[in-house]
Amino acid sequence: MRNTVDFIEAVPAQCAQLLAQSAVEVALVPVIEYQRIPNGSLIPDVCVGSKEEVRSVVLVSKDRELTDIRTVALDESSRTSATLVKIIFREFLGQEPEWTTQSPNLAEMLERYDAALMIGDPAMVFPRTGLKVWDMARLWRNYTDLGFVFAMWMVSDNAIQHSQTVDFRAARDEGVRAKNEIVEHYQKLLGLSRESLRSYLDENICFEVDPQLRAGLDLYFELAHKHGLIPQVNTWKSL
């Protein structure tokens, strides 16, 4: 993809907004947005997912057990994970906390709410001492025995022909081969150890949609619709 496209760097929620506004032709979007943004198709096989624990999407509480949580602050950067945590509570715990959305400042979130949903870099670097932390991919796995897909590339229908000049699978594979450089960059940026970052990329994140992840994604869409979080389940449309 290098030298063939113009990149805009943004958090997942912003990527979805840019695609919905036709400000970009292709975006790596939270998967729930495939059910909300009209006139788009998914790039098959390429994803950001997890089969066991993801580490970078967590629900955090100071002192409450899951069944005692009554208020939750959701990281405004996320849409897939915000929908996922609502499904966990409604479908599997049978309760409905009060939800709010705000910027990802864990200390401020936990001052006012029983729990906070954190994603991305902020979810990986805060001190865990004295906190209860639930990995959202692990919770999903515990309840469904399936992996979870957090994000996929989505193409606007009017850009399908243009997008076919880009080999997204090859770009994925190039990124996988560049893990050492990625670890080096994020070690300096986040202050995490090389071992921690390498295990994250090798063991926590997967980049290809296999049958287990596809089954998890289908169930996620079904439950999102069941609980009124999307208006309908759109037919899976991929290039």
For the record, the structure tokens of 5 come out as 């496209």
User: What is residue 13's predicted lDDT score, i.e. its pLDDT?
Assistant: 83
How high is the mean pLDDT of the chain? Answer: 93
Question: Cα(227)–Cα(128) distance, rounded to whole angstroms?
Answer: 32
CA distances from 187 to 32, 48, 194, 217 (A): 30, 20, 6, 31
Confidence tier at 166 by pLDDT (50, 70, 90):
confident
Enumerate domains of the chain plus CATH numbers: 57-144 (3.40.190.10)
**pTM: predicted TM-score of the whole model, two decimal places:** 0.93
Amino acid letter, 36 = R
Residue from 98, 129, 93 nearest 113 by CA: 98
* pLDDT per residue as tens digits for the range 25-34: 999 999 999 9
Mean pLDDT of 64-86: 95
Across residues 64-90, what is the average pLDDT? 95
**Percent of the chain's residues with pLDDT above 70:** 98
Model confidence over 128-149: pLDDT tens digits? 999 999 999 999 999 999 999 9
Q: Is the pLDDT of residue 4 over 80?
A: no
pLDDT beyond 80 at 236: no
Q: Are 199 and 217 in contact (CB under 8 A)?
A: no
Asked if the model's pLDDT at residue 1 lies above 60, the reply is: no
pLDDT of residue 205: 97
Residue 239's pLDDT is: 66
Confidence of residue 93 (pLDDT cuts 50, 70, 90): very high
